[in-house]
């Protein structure tokens, strides 16, 4: 029996029991559709997050944290002030370094704007080099040594009335130590710069290190007390020079710097580039997507069981037909081929429809939660392959069961 004849007979058997065939295919549609939906959501989420982070940034973040642990970050529990002014000067002397930007936290008691007072734990001290002019929706960077501040959009909106450049806010640093700061600028919504970690919807308030940052440590290199920071951002002159800067900066910070001597013995200096951060985020998102997709794959197992069940019922119903086929010369191979083709057709139909449903579901879900829609084309081919695979696996036993049917007993079957 040729394959085309098997397809014709299988299609006749499928259309002869439309409702049962539809219900069987529905199991595969749900399984494949669930997988495609979650894969599409995962790809869209990854595109949204990585798209915000993955810029050709020339910045290298230097932090201190436990050896073998995750990279430290600004304001993290593991960050301790060990990078001195001496370290900053030495790093600025490395060829290809455009700027070295310190970052530290300054504890405060609260903020006040036009009689609207809120409690707030800390502001971020940094330098004007943290900001570019095009990152501001209003105003510009603060001036070193001035009583000025920069706010991100969330901070500008956290009072009863929005704060604008040129307004004044009162910062209560300690009891009987309040200072009035002029808002030099408000950042735009899209700003997410590595130097001070200012992206996102969390309110952030920035002040100049001079005169507000007062944490000091004795420099082992000079013997003088200097400002010491928990994080530095080493900015290369261009993105192409990041690799050339990273090596010498790491060697200095780990072997010769004040930080290497001031840090606890169990801690180490870590340098993180933007590319490394993107890889970490992609790894986390891929793990999450694979986990959710693995759960959805269970639906495919249910679909496979549905096909196997239908094929077993079909073998029972067509016992007499099988006997007639064998009586007129059909071989076991012909019978196996007939039932395998039928199960494969069901699997392919289910996987194709499931792919369409999954794409529609993924698109709708991404639009609903306001994510940029991103598809994973390789999964379309995988879905078709899975449909064929489900059909083969589900049809093997019923086909074998049909092939070993005794033709004489089959012809007696009513």
Is pLDDT larger for residue 97 or for residue 202? 97
Specify the pTM: 0.60
Please give the structure tokens belonging to residue 395.
């049809």
Of the candidates 326, 227, 274, the residue with the CA atom closest to the CA atom of residue 50: 274
Please give the structure tokens belonging to residue 10.
């299988």
The helix (run of H) or strand (run of E) holding residue 403 is: helix 378-403
* Residue 344 confidence (pLDDT): 85
| Cα gap 394→351, rounded to integer Å | 14
Is pLDDT larger for residue 326 or for residue 178? 178
Is pLDDT larger for residue 100 or for residue 312? 100
| Cα gap 349→22, rounded to integer Å | 10
DSSP strand pairing (177-187 vs 148-151): parallel
pLDDT at 76 over 60: no
Least confident of 94-108, 212-226, 392-406: 392-406
The helix (run of H) or strand (run of E) holding residue 349 is: helix 332-368
Banded model confidence at residue 100, pLDDT cuts 50, 70, 90:
very high
* Residue 306 confidence (pLDDT): 76
pLDDT at 113 over 90: yes
Residues paired with residue 169 on neighbouring β-strands, in sequence order: 181
Interval 180-206: pLDDT, tens: 999 999 998 866 544 444 445 789 999
pLDDT at 123 over 60: yes
Please list, in sequence order, all residues whose beta carbon lies within 8 angstroms of the beta carbon of residue 369, skipping any fewer than 6 positions away: none
**DSSP designation for 125:** E
* Residue 337 confidence (pLDDT): 82
Listing DSSP states for 120-164 in one string gives --EEEEE-GGG--GGGEEEE----TTSSEEEE-HHHHTSSSS---
Coil vs helix vs strand at 336: helix
* Residue 413 confidence (pLDDT): 55
* Residue 3 confidence (pLDDT): 77
* Residue 279 confidence (pLDDT): 76
Average pLDDT score over residue span 330-342: 80
| Cα gap 235→92, rounded to integer Å | 9
Of the candidates 306, 334, 328, the residue with the CA atom closest to the CA atom of residue 394: 306
Residue bearing tokens 């990585």: 50
* Residue 84 confidence (pLDDT): 97
* Residue 374 confidence (pLDDT): 82
Q: Are 82 and 217 in contact (CB under 8 A)?
A: yes
Residue bearing tokens 């944290």: 65
Interval 259-306: pLDDT, tens: 999 999 889 898 888 777 777 777 887 887 778 777 767 776 777 777
Banded model confidence at residue 121, pLDDT cuts 50, 70, 90:
very high
Residues paired with residue 226 on neighbouring β-strands, in sequence order: 217
* Residue 366 confidence (pLDDT): 86
* Residue 15 confidence (pLDDT): 83
Is pLDDT larger for residue 411 or for residue 391? 391
DSSP strand pairing (231-236 vs 59-66): antiparallel
Q: Are 148 and 206 in contact (CB under 8 A)?
A: no
Of the candidates 396, 392, 386, the residue with the CA atom closest to the CA atom of residue 350: 386
Banded model confidence at residue 164, pLDDT cuts 50, 70, 90:
very high
The HSE-up count of residue 242 (CA atoms within 13 Å, CB side) is 16
pLDDT at 1 over 70: no
- Rounded mean pLDDT of the chain? 83
């Amino acid at each position: 029996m040729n394959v085309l004849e098997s397809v014709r007979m299988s299609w006749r058997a499928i259309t002869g029991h439309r409702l049962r065939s539809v219900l069987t295919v529905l199991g595969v549609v749900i399984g494949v559709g669930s997988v495609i939906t979650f894969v599409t959501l995962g790809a869209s989420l990854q595109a949204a997050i990585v798209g915000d982070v993955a810029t050709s940034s020339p910045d290298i973040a230097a932090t201190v944290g436990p050896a073998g642990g995750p990279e430290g970050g600004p304001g993290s529990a593991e960050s301790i002030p060990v990078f001195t002014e001496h370290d900053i000067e030495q790093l600025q002397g490395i060829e290809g370094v455009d700027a070295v930007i310190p970052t530290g936290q300054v504890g405060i008691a609260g903020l006040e704007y036009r009689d609207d007072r809120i409690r707030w734990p800390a502001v971020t001290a940094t330098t004007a080099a943290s900001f570019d002019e095009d990152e501001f929706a209003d105003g510009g960077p603060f001036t070193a040594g001035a009583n000025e501040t920069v706010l991100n959009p969330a901070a500008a909106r956290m009072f009863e009335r929005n704060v604008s450049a040129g307004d004044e806010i009162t910062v209560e640093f300690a009891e009987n130590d309040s200072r009035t700061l002029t808002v030099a600028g408000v950042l735009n919504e899209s700003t997410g710069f590595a130097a001070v970690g200012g992206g996102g919807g969390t309110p952030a308030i920035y002040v100049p290190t001079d005169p507000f940052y007062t944490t000091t440590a004795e420099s082992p290199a000079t013997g003088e007390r200097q400002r010491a920071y928990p994080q530095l951002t080493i900015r290369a002159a261009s993105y192409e020079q990041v690799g050339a800067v990273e090596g010498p900066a790491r060697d200095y910070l780990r072997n010769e710097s004040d930080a290497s001597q001031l840090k606890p013995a169990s801690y180490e200096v870590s340098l993180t580039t933007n590319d490394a951060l993107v890889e970490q985020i992609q790894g986390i998102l891929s793990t999450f997507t694979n986990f959710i997709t693995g759960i959805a794959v269970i639906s495919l197992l249910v679909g496979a069981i549905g096909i196997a069940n239908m094929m077993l019922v079909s073998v029972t119903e067509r016992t007499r037909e099988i006997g007639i086929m064998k009586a007129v010369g059909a071989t076991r191979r012909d019978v196996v081929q007939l039932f395998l083709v039928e199960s494969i057709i069901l699997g392919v139909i289910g996987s194709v429809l499931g792919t369409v449903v999954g794409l529609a579901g993924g698109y709708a879900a991404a639009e609903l939660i306001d994510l940029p829609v991103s598809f994973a084309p390789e999964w379309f081919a995988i879905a078709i392959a899975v449909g064929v695979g489900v059909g083969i696996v589900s049809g093997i036993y019923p086909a074998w069961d049909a092939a070993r049917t005794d033709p004489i007993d089959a012809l007696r079957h009513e």
